[in-house]
Structure 1
Amino acid sequence: MKTIAEINHKINQQQAIVCTIEELKARVKETSISQVAQEVDVITTGTFEPMESSGAIINLGHTDPPINIRTCWLNGVPAYSGFGAVDIYIGATQMVKEGDEPSDRGGGHVIEDLIAGKTVHLQAVGTPSDCYPRSSLETSINKDTINQFYLFNPRNLYQNFIIGVNGGDRPLFTYLGPLQPFLGNAVYSNSGAISPLFNDPDLQLIGIGTRIFLGGGIGYITWEGTQHFPIQKRLPNRTPIGPAATLAVIGDAKKMNPYWVRGCYFKQHGPSLMLGIGIPLPVLNEEVVLRAAIADEDIVAPVVDFAIPRRVRPTFGLVTYAQLKSGRIQIEGKTVRTAPLASISRSRQVAEELKEWIESGNFTLTEPVAPIPMDRSFIPQDIWGSQIRLD
């Protein structure tokens, strides 16, 4: 048994043995779980994929005379302004304001621009009062002219997800990208066996307060994520067979790198955010290594038909991530092309960069202050008696 305090002492002395998750898996094959558990102190994991439930909190600072902002736009993208005079929140999937020409840019692009040090146009309307007499504001801002600017993401790091296909007769434009008719392609979003939460399936090593790599800077796990569903059915190795645990995270966007925070757009669906996140896993005992030794052959995801416009869609069964990464899967006797939304190469880079931070003594581990709940169910929003319209 090791402790996080003992591992941090080695990190501070620049003596910690750190492996990326792929290096760990290779090392287990060459030696044994027991030997690796004795030799390795930290495992670094990473992913770079769309994380739509993301956004940034910004404090603009008070004007003279002051304004109590109630409607606000950044580069034409609406930001929420209902919780403080000059506090705003811009969501990654927010589109340009109504009445503007359709755009392939949204909140994720505004966040990327601010992180990159670019200037962003601000337009705001206030509610005049004795405290806040100003009624409007139009100016330009950048990350150096505002106070707080941090990512606060309600749902990141899905522990597994679905594979999207289209069994219908017309193209579909989805949050997984275009799905071609007649099972023309299959798209998956998770990076598989290198993805952080696959390697700590019961969230025994992380919790509220865990320090992480977030967007090229340091972040923290703050709570369970929205749609957190840890009681998903699981294989004997404890990995879930579909969407399961999620995490809420926070981090200082002023210290992030736009290489790891990229606005993106899904055709005829909307904007989102590509985000790099890495989690260090302390090697406290042999079980940590056993869980992290899983391969793409050992984990599965469900193939879901998006042609059926319902919350619960029919599936074509489960396939392994090894099959997905081969570029082809079989669905009812038909060979179907596959492609990932996650960047496998950048996911590896996240793990490698986090490894460098730890080896250099610039990143230590934190003890969680509380565990992530593992008993949450998923409650759907059923509106009884309503009629479905698909105009």
Structure 2
Amino acid sequence: MSETAAVVVAAGRGIRVGGDTPKQYRRVGGKTVLTRTLDALARHPNLSRIQVVIAPDAAAFYDECLADLAPGAGAKLAPPVEGGATRQISVRAGLEALDRAGAPALVLVHDAARPFVDEALVDRAIAAARAHRAAVPGIPVTDTIKIVDPQGRVRETPPRESLRAVQTPQAFAFPALLDAHRRAAAQGLDAFTDDGALAEWAGLPVTVFAGDLRNRKITQAADLDEADRTFAGAAAPSGADRPAAGVPMTLLTRLGTGFDVHAFTEGDHVWLGGVRIPADRGVLAHSDGDVVLHALTDAILGALADGDIGVHFPPSDPRWRGASSDQFLADAVARVAARGGVIDHLDVTVLCESPRIGPHREAIRARIAEVAGIPVTAVSIKATTTEKLGFVGRAEGLAAQAAATIRLP
């Protein structure tokens, strides 16, 4: 039994991008979107087999993709199979093909139109499948979401901190997912839009693991244009920042720093890096007082030259009273992505006499990586005291200083 396989769903028509060619067969940076996706997955050492699902009339398009694959990538590709009228039918066709050839232990299901998937995200997907049997990548939601009735009236405004925008690759124990698909098909159900929802219907507990803001899906024509610029090694600035014709555009590294401090007050815990840590006191703050996430948010905003946390989330606004600070960091991260940038590294030093950071270091790193959509290896957490000097030394409060390294067009 092979360890992990992937099903790549490429049977859609992608009509929202316009034109006669489905989006997965459009070229970005000289190669088709599907070729980019397959290259990225094939590079992963722990993916042993890739099953592509295509439309019945797409064989010629698919052959064109194969011609542009990176050397060696084709060795992992099984012969393509034909999909159906819905995504769910296409995924089941891919799963059944894998089963006929020898069922893997785990399977990842990925959209052909997400060519920015990287090794770190696949690592997290495989680990989540092993740990939970059913898991999907998700990123924090930065916009306020409204649930409306058919007349457009607002019925509910769910809290953003409990919401995640779900991506692929979604990761499962293969037998469990195949069984769920077969049960749904037997009941005539074929309209599930993602495998996480199908797994929920089948009674499988589904876990959300850290997605990646860069793992965006190509949906509109503008997404194709942006992907083309990215894969060509250049993102597109606008206005006065646009270089003259013939001058290559590059991503430039920028560094930002941040600092935050909060005084102690009565309480039984503090929030640090999105992790609730038991303590003999709390902190005095308008939001949850997370000095780590506040400092990181300011560091990213500093690298963007886009004000500070108080500009975007003023303490005078009652919406932020007691707010979870992960939404501040998520907003700053989204601003980087909106500018066509990437986050390379986040570094934090916590200054405090207590609580001890060491026992919580890895949990903090993991939470920051999840919110920022970056590998945990790109997050550093350090702690120090001030040798009994100053307000930190007198245990009157705690502070954090942070640095963020990003790249922008």
Instruction: Tell me whether the two structures share a fold, i.e. TM-score over 0.5.
Output: no
| Structure richer in strand, relative to its length | 1
| TMscore range, shorter length | under 0.3
So what's the TM-score if we normalise by structure 2?
0.22
